[in-house]
């Protein structure tokens, strides 16, 4: 019986393809490293191996997403939600921030859209009261149809506000007003739309802060990142688009 000839490197379990003579070899246990052009075999930064494709022999490269830490895009050192200090470069926003004027204008547009149904219902209700003011009591009470129209208008206004400021803005970053004035609400860490849940909490905090102190509306005028208090609590920016 003939004895099998072992591989050239002397390890019978090692059937890996052998590198060409003179080609750089990674030290044991240090395969992978930062992404570098030029193909496998060139040293990466700080003496780590690099190159195209997968790390040799099935070992895991570092960092898992490739690239250099701190690059301001997903997949280059920081995954989504891992941007340091709210953006690239110790808190410096990645996009131009919206000015106070467009923010106020967008809010007024949104408020007008939501107010139209309830104002129509209220107008019908008041007109009915005025038409019956000279009638003796209880004939001067508002009729049922005017009360129903007012309540329907109120419900439609609430629905419009939720659709516009919560669901639409949470999904796309823009309410109708923000879309008209070319600004967008984004998460301060990922620069992506915040989602309906976070948009709803932001609107709730906005109502609380504005009711408690009017200064909240003016805060973006002098704030470094042009944020209101509810922006700071929810970690959101309003940016130009």
**Cβ-Cβ contacts under 8 Å for 237 (sequence gap 6 or more):** 93, 95, 97, 185, 186, 187, 188, 191, 225, 226, 227, 231
With tokens 């003796």, the residue in question is 136
Q: Helix (H, G, I), strand (E, B), or coil: what is residue 87?
A: coil
pLDDT, position 81: 41
- Cα dist from 3 to 6, 11, 169, whole Å: 9, 15, 73
**Cβ-Cβ contacts under 8 Å for 241 (sequence gap 6 or more):** 174, 182, 183, 184
Distance from C-alpha of 234 to C-alpha of 86, rounded to nearest angstrom? 12
pLDDT, position 94: 79
Residues in the chain where the model's pLDDT stays below 70: 1-92, 135-140
Q: Helix (H, G, I), strand (E, B), or coil: what is residue 205?
A: helix
pLDDT, position 230: 94
pLDDT, position 97: 94
pLDDT, position 71: 37
Dihedral sign for Cα atoms in the order 179, 182, 185, 186: positive
pLDDT, position 1: 54
Q: Are strands 236-240 and 183-187 parallel, antiparallel or unpaired?
A: antiparallel
With tokens 């129903």, the residue in question is 148
Distance from C-alpha of 68 to C-alpha of 72, rounded to nearest angstrom? 10
Structure tokens at 154: 């109120």
pLDDT, position 150: 95
pLDDT, position 89: 38
pTM of the model: 0.60
pLDDT, position 136: 66
**Cβ-Cβ contacts under 8 Å for 123 (sequence gap 6 or more):** none
């Amino acid at each position: 019986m003939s004895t099998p000839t072992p591989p050239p490197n002397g390890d019978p379990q090692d059937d890996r393809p052998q590198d060409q003579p003179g080609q750089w070899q990674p030290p044991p246990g240090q395969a992978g490293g930062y992404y570098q052009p030029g193909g496998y075999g060139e040293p990466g930064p700080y003496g780590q191996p690099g190159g195209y494709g997968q790390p040799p022999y099935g070992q895991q490269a570092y960092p898992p997403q490739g690239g250099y830490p701190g690059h301001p895009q997903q997949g280059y050192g920081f995954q989504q939600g891992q941007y340091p200090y709210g953006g690239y470069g110790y808190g410096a926003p990645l996009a131009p921030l919206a000015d106070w004027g467009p923010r106020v204008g967008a809010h007024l547009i949104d408020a007008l859209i939501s107010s139209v149904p309830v104002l129509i219902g209220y107008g019908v209700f008041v007109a009915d009261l005025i038409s019956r003011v000279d009638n003796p009591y209880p004939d001067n009470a508002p009729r049922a149809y005017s009360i129903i129209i007012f309540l329907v208008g109120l419900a439609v206004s609430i629905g419009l506000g939720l659709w516009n400021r919560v669901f639409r803005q949470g999904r796309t970053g823009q309410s109708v007003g923000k879309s008209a004035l070319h600004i967008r609400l984004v998460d301060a860490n990922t620069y992506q739309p915040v989602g309906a849940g976070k948009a709803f909490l932001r609107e709730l905090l906005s109502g609380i802060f504005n009711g408690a102190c009017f200064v909240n509306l003016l805060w973006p005028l002098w704030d470094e990142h042009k944020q209101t208090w509810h922006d700071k609590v929810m970690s959101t920016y309003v940016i130009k688009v």
